[in-house]
Amino acid sequence: MSLIVQKFGGTSVGSVERIVCVAQRVSNTAKAGNSIVVVVSAMGKTTDGLVKLAAEISKNPCRREMDMLLSTGEQVSIALVSMALQELGQPAISLTGAQVGIVTEAEHTRARILHIQTERLTKHLQEGKVVVVAGFQGISRTDALEITTLGRGGSDTSAVAIAAALKADFCEIYTDVPGILTTDPRLVPEAQLMSEITCDEMLELASLGAKVLHPRAVEIARNYGVPLVVRSSWTDDPGTWVTSPPVKERSLINLEIARPVDSVESDTDQAKVALLRVPDRPGVAARLFGEIARQDVDVDLIIQSIHEGNTNDIAFTVFTPILPKAEAVAAAIAPVLRSHKSSPNEEAEVMVQQNIAKVSIAGAGMIGRPGVAAKMFATLAAAGVNIQMISTSEIKVSCVIAAQECDRAVAALKEAFDLDTPHTPHTPPLQEAATRLHTP
């Protein structure tokens, strides 16, 4: 049958009753002939309680001792889940991150996984046991063998990394929602469930605040081709599959730190439209881009800059073939985008620039590494490439430059970030995701 990694979050193991339900679900999957590794988080608000205890002792607790403290939460969960499985007659064993061989950087409270020693995991699985692993934690590769934690989203990261290391058939992420929805169902009850989403789309959504999956976990899934499914702990509904394209075999050494940047992308089919001296008041941007949307003009990057007085400059990029239409829309709306106190001579001015390109670096490894953007800018400067516009997210930095400098910029960035994959024009994942979300 299948080798499956199942991850259960804090709400899924938040009480004895819920732990028993989790054990029953795991046992049923094992009885169907599957080999199972279960990764669990600390029970409910346990981690929050431990952080509060530390704050009552020290205003600035030592990061090493915080790791020692916070790692205990998952150890409670794994022992209880293992006991519950054994009560159901299912052989099981609990292992901490250190015992399972999750080797990390020596960075307390924010370590990244270097590799996973799978020998012990494989041995217990071959013996027919369910292996219950403490998520969120590992052990450093130093002689001191320090306990480390992985930071926010650490249990998701642990689960997908284990799935990659074991070459599992898929990894199930169990949570308190039925899957990945178009928005937070606690805020918008009408949110719709998606049956499938790509890793690239999920990376963009996760980096912009979607909390159901952490970008680090999605990045590992994409890099190693691990099929993910996000499901509810309370139902048997199919959930949402997070899919990856076929990937080349890659080393499991330095699993999370091999490259902070995965790709350099470029697009020379770009033009810029700028509106200067746009009034600085609520509703102006909505009016401008509402009209642009009604005219079916597809906008890429949008940058607003502060101008002197009560006006701003707004610039956006479009694909070159639709530039005439974009320019016409901007020119038509410019006369009405003026300050209440302005004269007709102070209306917004439209400027157009062609022969530009967009060059981007992308990768979830950039999260928590502020030096990556600085390295990109320094690399472009050293190559004599002038940056006209900048747009950033947690996992992508894009710069608008002169089209004739694009090849030089791409070559310099590939060398700087040690990339040797060919660059191709790219449709932004978020744009793809938005298209999917709004297609009937």
Task: Kindly tell me the number of DSSP H helices and DSSP E strands found in the chain.
Answer: 13, 18
| Single residue among 243, 273, 307 that ends a domain in this structure | 243
What distance, in Å, lies between the first and last C-alpha atoms of the chain? 37
| Single residue among 243, 275, 304 that ends a domain in this structure | 243
pLDDT band at 155 (very low <50, low <70, confident <90, very high): very high
pLDDT of amino acid 202: 87
Instruction: Write the single-letter amino acid at 131.
Output: V
| Single residue among 243, 276, 306 that ends a domain in this structure | 243
Range with the poorest average pLDDT among 5-14, 143-152, 189-198, 417-426: 417-426
Instruction: Read off the pLDDT of each residue in 182-190 and give the average, rounded to a whole number.
Output: 77
Asked, for residue 252, whether it belongs to a domain, the answer is no
Say yes or no to pLDDT of 376 above 70. Answer: yes
Asked, for residue 256, whether it belongs to a domain, the answer is no
- The more confident residue out of 69 and 296 is 69
pLDDT of amino acid 307: 67
* Overall pTM > 0.85: no
Give the separation between CA 155 and CA 109, rounded to whole angstroms. 13
Give the separation between CA 423 and CA 271, rounded to whole angstroms. 20
Same domain for 209 and 114: yes
Same domain for 154 and 97: yes
Separation in Å, CA 222 to CA 136, 218, 234 = 20, 6, 27
Q: What is the DSSP string of 370-428?
A: THHHHHHHHHHHHTTPPP-EEEE-SSEEEEEEEGGGHHHHHHHHHHHTT--SPP-----
pLDDT band at 439 (very low <50, low <70, confident <90, very high): very low
Same domain for 304 and 195: no
Q: How many domains does the chain have?
A: 2
Same domain for 302 and 164: no
Asked, for residue 73, whether it belongs to a domain, the answer is yes
Range with the poorest average pLDDT among 113-117, 270-274, 296-300, 335-339: 335-339
Q: Which residues pair with 181 in a beta bridge?
A: 193
Say yes or no to pLDDT of 143 above 80. Answer: no
The parent domain of residue 27 ranges over: 3-243
CATH number (domain holding residue 429) = 3.30.2130.10
Same domain for 217 and 364: no
- pLDDT 10s digits, 189-203: 788 889 999 888 888
CATH number (domain holding residue 109) = 3.40.1160.10
